[in-house]
């Protein structure tokens, strides 16, 4: 028998019924007479292969997220032009004009498209977090159409939303992500169809309740519950359900990050989540508790009669997309600002050095631009003119914005597409804040 080394991988069934993957290395020793010896070393590589598969899946998701972010940037630029011009037309048209209804519908369609973009990218992006006072009922109602398409016709979706639900403070995109993760998991648990129920209600947890459940804190909460009639989970699975990379799905079917990310989002909001009920074959109920915000729903419904106006301040607008630049300029001028436009960071630097651009109150710049980014431009200008106030804007919604050093906690940021009201409020807020 010839000497040599042979490596191979093969599956074998463990006595507990699970399949394990073994990697063996065999070496044939030189024959002595009529006898030949084979030395075989084996090791269990099941977990290693699972981790490699998860890494490949995570890399694919990252690539998909980068692609989606680039597409969203271009799409949001287009929506900025549509939404901006529709708002300007709506303001200029008389109330009895026959075209007013059509223009209003164009604006509504642009807003729905922008919301759809945010929902489609909620799985893959690391968004710039911008907490707002929210009505969970409104979040569920807006997402309901998309959720129905996502779960398919064999799953029946019902909602039970408590009227006068207390508002919460959270990032709208992150709450969309939480809702879609829960609904996606419920759909996967019902491959042959079933019933899915989304419920909201006000709850108050007292000290007696939280003493029994140490991870909970006393107080008033808005509850979001998602229940399904799917396959359910064993207590062993429930014990690990919020751990990163833990998944009950097959290789390549999930990263095991969905519920871990959801858990982090809810904790960041000051709330908590739990599997309140689950049993094999009897379905699962997830409950999300978000602390009630200080503002009331009535306060949220109050709107200013018109957006906050400018006081003749000069704004240097830096935007490399001409159509977006044109509509943003018109919007700012309609608010009472004087606008100087530059199509690149280099052009902005030249403009600011001229007599016309020496005196300005605000730099409003896109984040992602060729040659020099918006952050680099702001730093260059502040080195010559300390205390310059800056408002960043971008159509990117994934971690591209974060990688360029733009975090909402540190700077003023405006996500494209934006409405006239959002633009007016953010510009006024940035101008009125003290110089850093």
Residues found in the chain = 436
Q: What is the CA radius of gyration of the chain?
A: 28
How much is the pTM?
0.50
Specify the pLDDT at position 211: 64
In this structure, are 322 and 372 located in the same domain? yes
Question: Which domain, by its residues, includes 8?
Answer: 4-44
Q: CB under 8 Å, gap of 24 or more: what pairs does 321-326 form?
A: 321/77, 321/366, 323/77, 323/81, 324/77, 324/80, 324/81, 324/416
Virtual torsion, Cα 328, 329, 332, 333, nearest 10 deg: -150
Positions of the chain with pLDDT under 70: 1-4, 31, 33, 57-58, 60-73, 94, 96, 115-130, 208-215, 240, 243-258, 295-306, 396-411, 435-436
Specify the pLDDT at position 1: 45
**Can you tell me which residue has the tokens 């020099």?**
372
- For the chain, the domain total comes to 3
- Whole-number Å distance between alpha carbons of 394 and 76: 9
In this structure, are 355 and 290 located in the same domain? no
In this structure, are 170 and 274 located in the same domain? yes
Tell me which of 279, 301, 323 is where a domain ends: 301
Tell me which of 246, 273, 301 is where a domain ends: 301
DSSP string, 119-162: HHTTTT-------EEE-HHHHHHHHHHHHHHHH-TTEEEEEEE-
Specify the pLDDT at position 3: 53
Specify the pLDDT at position 75: 78
Phi then psi for residue 314, to 5 deg, are: -100, 130
Q: Convert the pLDDT of each residue in 393-416 to its tens digit.
A: 887 644 444 444 454 445 688 888
In this structure, are 326 and 289 located in the same domain? no
In this structure, are 258 and 380 located in the same domain? no
In this structure, are 79 and 118 located in the same domain? yes
Q: Convert the pLDDT of each residue in 198-235 to its tens digit.
A: 999 999 887 766 665 666 778 899 999 999 999 888 88
Using N-to-C axis directions, what is the helix angle for 46-92 and 420-432, rounded to 10°?
100
In this structure, are 237 and 341 located in the same domain? no
**Can you tell me which residue has the tokens 């599997």?**
275
In this structure, are 96 and 57 located in the same domain? yes
C-alpha 331, offset from chain centre? 28
Specify the pLDDT at position 245: 56
Whichever domain contains 73, its CATH number is 3.40.50.2300
Phi then psi for residue 101, to 5 deg, are: -65, -40
Specify the pLDDT at position 342: 92
- Whole-number Å distance between alpha carbons of 169 and 128: 15
In this structure, are 38 and 64 located in the same domain? no
In this structure, are 292 and 259 located in the same domain? yes
Phi then psi for residue 42, to 5 deg, are: -130, 150
Average pLDDT of the chain is 79
In this structure, are 266 and 372 located in the same domain? no
Whichever domain contains 29, its CATH number is 2.10.70.100
Virtual torsion, Cα 418, 421, 422, 423, nearest 10 deg: 80
State whether residue 241 is helix, strand or coil.
Answer: coil
Specify the pLDDT at position 409: 42
Specify the pLDDT at position 40: 83
In this structure, are 217 and 109 located in the same domain? no
Token pair for residue 172? 């709208």
Whichever domain contains 186, its CATH number is 3.30.565.10
- Whole-number Å distance between alpha carbons of 7 and 70: 44
Tell me which of 286, 301, 316 is where a domain ends: 301
């Amino acid at each position: 028998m010839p000497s040599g080394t042979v490596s191979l991988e093969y599956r074998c069934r463990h006595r507990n019924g699970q399949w394990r993957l073994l990697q063996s290395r065999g070496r044939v020793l030189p024959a002595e007479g009529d006898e030949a010896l084979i030395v075989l070393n084996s090791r269990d590589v099941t977990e290693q292969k699972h981790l490699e598969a998860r890494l490949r899946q995570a890399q694919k998701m990252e690539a998909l997220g980068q692609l989606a972010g680039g597409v969203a940037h271009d799409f949001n630029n287009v929506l900025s032009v549509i939404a901006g011009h529709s708002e300007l037309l709506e303001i200029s048209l008389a109330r009895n004009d026959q075209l007013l209804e059509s223009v209003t519908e164009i604006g509504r369609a642009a807003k729905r498209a922008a919301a759809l973009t945010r929902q489609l990218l909620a799985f893959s992006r690391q968004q710039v977090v911008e907490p707002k006072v929210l009505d969970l009922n409104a979040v569920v109602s807006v997402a309901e159409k998309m959720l129905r398409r996502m779960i398919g016709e064999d799953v029946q979706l019902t909602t039970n939303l408590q009227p006068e639900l207390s508002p919460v403070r959270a990032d709208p995109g992150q709450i969309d992500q939480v809702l879609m993760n829960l609904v996606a998991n419920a759909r996967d648990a019902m491959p042959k169809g079933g019933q899915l129920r989304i419920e909201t209600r006000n709850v108050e947890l007292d000290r007696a309740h939280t003493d029994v459940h140490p991870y909970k804190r006393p107080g008033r909460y808005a509850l979001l519950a998602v229940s399904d009639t799917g396959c359910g989970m064993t207590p062993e699975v429930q014990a690990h359900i919020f751990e990163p990379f833990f998944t009950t799905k097959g290789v390549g079917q999930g990263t095991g990050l969905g519920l871990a990310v959801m858990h982090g989002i809810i904790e960041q909001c000051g709330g908590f989540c739990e599997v309140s009920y689950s049993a094999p074959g009897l379905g699962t109920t997830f409950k999300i508790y978000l602390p009630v915000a200080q503002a009331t729903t009535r306060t949220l419904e109050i709107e200013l009669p018109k957006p906050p106006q400018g006081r003749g301040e000069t704004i240097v607008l830096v935007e490399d997309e001409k159509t977006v630049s044109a509509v943003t300029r018109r919007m700012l001028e309609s608010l009472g600002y004087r606008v100087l436009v530059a199509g690149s960071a280099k052009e902005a630097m030249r403009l600011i050095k001229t007599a016309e651009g020496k005196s300005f109150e605000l730099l409003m710049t896109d984040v992602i631009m060729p040659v020099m980014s918006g952050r680099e431009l702001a730093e260059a200008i502040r080195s010559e003119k300390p205390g310059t106030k800056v408002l960043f804007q971008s159509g990117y919604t994934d971690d591209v914005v974060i990688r360029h050093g733009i975090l909402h906690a540190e700077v003023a940021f405006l996500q494209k597409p934006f409405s006239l009201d959002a633009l007016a409020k953010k510009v006024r807020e940035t101008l009125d804040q003290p110089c850093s």
